[in-house]
Amino acid sequence: MSRYLDATTDFGFKKIFSEEANKDVLASFITAVLELTTPVVDLRFLSKDQLPDTIERRSAVYDIYCTDRDGNHFIVEMQKSPIAYIKDRMVYYSTFPIARQAPKGEVLRVAEPATASYGKQPSKMPWNFRLDAVYCIAILGYALNGSTTAVNRNSIRNDMPPHEIFYDKLKFVTVELELFDETKPEYGLDKPLNKWLYFLKNLPDFDRIPEIFKGDALFEKAFAAAEMANMTPEDWSLYHRAMKHEWDDYARYSTAEERGVTKGKMEVAKALLQKGSEPDFVAEVTGLSIDQIQQLQKPAATIRKLYPTTE
């Protein structure tokens, strides 16, 4: 068994980054990912009740929602397995910290002319729609189509040259761990961001704290939080529950993939048989067994019964 938790699992990520005692660890990570010149300080975790309700096992879940001293909002998601429309989900979830910045309670109206209000002004000033910044960070265990770099930061830009930034207070960041390779010069471990990516991607493979992290108090704190020997009985229960869900998800994905591959081979085999190819040749080309090839020559209803698909 590994000495450290897998930081790319829902439980492992939350254990390291979302506990009150580890807010400084999270602040260091966010500062590095966003490459901020001023460090994030005084993080405050916000209730995820502010986000839409979801069932217990969500295919994507924003694990952390917090603000800093300057009012910036941060949403962080760890998503290990590929899911559809991840970018759409990032945009969707970013709308909630935007909407919650509107004044609560009675809607305020702009003051009417003094002659109409007998010279009295409203007791409160109306909202002028000023918003604090929202940063949405998705840490992915896979690479998005077309991506060539491990970290991609996106702002809303004008689509006409020279493509100036239209709005600089809404940013979307993807961290694609599959593309991170510490052996490449551009991912040298002398940079804080690359050290965090190295930590996230390889944590369960470490049997001790690597030299590159020693002497860094925040990384040593992160290792301590991830060490299985420090887990409570409640932690273990939650950990095993999380891993069971992950294994179930993987089993469903593998089953669907295997059925898809088998179905594809059967389609090729049927085409070859229709062109008069011999069963032995079809079996050699597709990798299907002779028995499977022979079943393809039976009525369609029999084939569906013997080889059900996910359709």
| Window from 29-33, 91-95, 115-119, 125-129 with minimum mean pLDDT | 115-119
Q: Which whole number is the average pLDDT over 32-56?
A: 75
- Please state, in angstroms and as integers, the Cα–Cα distance from residue 58 to each residue in 2, 52, 77, 121, 283, following that order: 26, 12, 12, 49, 41
Q: Give the model's confidence band at 61: pLDDT under 50 very low, under 70 low, under 90 confident, else very high.
A: very low
Q: Which residue has the higher pLDDT, 25 or 234?
A: 25
Distance (Å, whole) CA 194 – CA 180: 8
Please give the mean pLDDT across all residues of the chain.
83
pLDDT for 55: 38
Please give the helix or strand (H or E) that residue 77 lies within, else none. strand 73-79
Are the C-beta atoms of residues 144 and 81 closer than 8 Å to each other?
no
Q: Give the model's confidence band at 222: pLDDT under 50 very low, under 70 low, under 90 confident, else very high.
A: very high
With a cut of 50, say whether residue 301 has pLDDT above it. Answer: no
Q: What's the whole-model pTM score?
A: 0.72
**In Å, how far from its chain's centre is CA 174?**
8
pLDDT digits (tens, 9 = 90+) for 249-260: 767 767 766 777
pLDDT for 224: 96
With a cut of 70, say whether residue 48 has pLDDT above it. Answer: no
Report residue 19 as tokens: 């506990």
Taking the domains of the chain in order of start, what are their residue ranges? Answer: 10-231
pLDDT digits (tens, 9 = 90+) for 181-208: 999 999 999 999 999 999 999 999 999 9
Q: Give the model's confidence band at 59: pLDDT under 50 very low, under 70 low, under 90 confident, else very high.
A: very low
Q: Give the model's confidence band at 306: pLDDT under 50 very low, under 70 low, under 90 confident, else very high.
A: low
pLDDT for 303: 45
pLDDT for 109: 52
With a cut of 70, say whether residue 284 has pLDDT above it. Answer: yes
With a cut of 80, say whether residue 209 has pLDDT above it. Answer: yes
| Window from 24-38, 209-223, 263-277 with minimum mean pLDDT | 263-277
Q: How is the beta sheet containing 165-176 ordered, strand by strand?
A: 44-45, 62-67, 73-79, 134-140, 165-176, 151-157
Distance (Å, whole) CA 230 – CA 16: 12
pLDDT for 242: 76
